[in-house]
Amino acid sequence: MFPKWFNKWNADNPTDVFGPAILIGSLGGAVFVAIMLITWGQPYATASQQSGPRGTGMSQTEFVRALAARKADPEMAAANYVVAPEGEAPAVEYDPGLGDELVTAMRSWTGIPNLFAEDNYQTNVAYLMISMTQFLNEEYGYHVNASGEGVGVTCYTCHRGQPVPNGVWFKLGAVNEAASGWSAVQNRATMQSQSTSLPSNALESYLLGDEVIQVHDLESRVAGSIAEGEVASIQQTEMTFSLMNYYDNSLGVNCVFCHNSRAFYDGGQVTPQWATAQVAREMVQTLNADYLVPLKDTLPDNRLGPIMGDAPKAGCLTCHQGQNRPVNGHLWLEAYPELATIGGG
């Protein structure tokens, strides 16, 4: 009844009756796992995007399921818009500079018929946000529409169905009560430091202020004055690392998305994305200074920062939310061309 090898095993090993069963069970289990992987797919499958020359390790590798989890569905968002009847006038007076087509679009995005009521603080915010969106598409098209396909940005790029985008940030001030000076802004995990011990004021310095991004020299004991900006301090280096960590998490990439892994210090060997990041930083600084910081006097207290009472500010995470192309590069300007021209309509 049993194969000869099984009978011989029992004869040679009369006290080890579980050996063959374990062997057969292991083989059967391996076959079952293989069948499940073929049928249902590899749960830890990865996808790679090459960002530099082959053989240099310059690639972005992520789990496929992580990419799917971050995928936004612009078609679903568009389907949920409440489209106003064609030709219907707004409930109250509005700024004619926006144009009728843009007003209709605004009402469809919000579903609020009295969007332009004077007692609604959101009215002034909406005007400013529309102006900001047009400014982005018009003046920074080489960033938000770098591919030239008509990507651009809309309200959904940042908001994703939320009144306040998930990726805004506020000033924190001193986060380490046990220290003073430079140490007071680090060594405590915060959202701004990406839950690390790195400085929590990097966004304030680089995306609101215009501090120079720099790291310490490769050589030790380099002559020069830190106060005069001739050489970078260890503190400036740590703050730069904090910003770079923020970039990585915001875009779902790693260092070699912009830098050459063999020559981080050589600006001549960076990738094209490095230049895009520089433009993006300038763009965010402009948005914060000209559009978002001034909202402090318009927004109610519950919309301001919990510590410093400042207005919400934008960063890379506000738009990208874990993707190197926000909303997978959806072509927004095809549906909303009025957002691509300053003046609307």
- For residue 281, the model assigns a pLDDT of 95
Question: With 50 as the cut, is the pLDDT of residue 303 above it?
Answer: yes
Mean pLDDT of the chain: 79
Domains and CATH numbers, the chain: 48-66+72-159 (no CATH), 167-320 (1.10.468.10)
- For residue 1, the model assigns a pLDDT of 65
CA–CA dist 275, 256 (Å, integer): 13
- For residue 314, the model assigns a pLDDT of 95
Is 102 in contact with 342 (CB distance < 8 Å)?
no
Residue 130: pLDDT band with limits 50, 70, 90: confident
Look up the pTM and report it. Answer: 0.75
Residue 336: pLDDT band with limits 50, 70, 90: confident
Residues 26-47 have a mean pLDDT of 80
Query: pLDDT digit string (tens) for 139-196?
Result: 998 888 877 778 889 888 898 878 889 899 999 988 888 888 878 888 888 888 888 9
Which stretch, 46-60, 76-90, 97-111, 127-141, has highest mean pLDDT? 127-141
Residue type, 250: S
Query: pLDDT digit string (tens) for 260-273?
Result: 888 887 888 888 88
- For residue 214, the model assigns a pLDDT of 86
Rg of the chain over CA atoms, in angstroms? 28
Query: pLDDT digit string (tens) for 66-93?
Result: 666 656 666 655 554 444 444 443 443 4
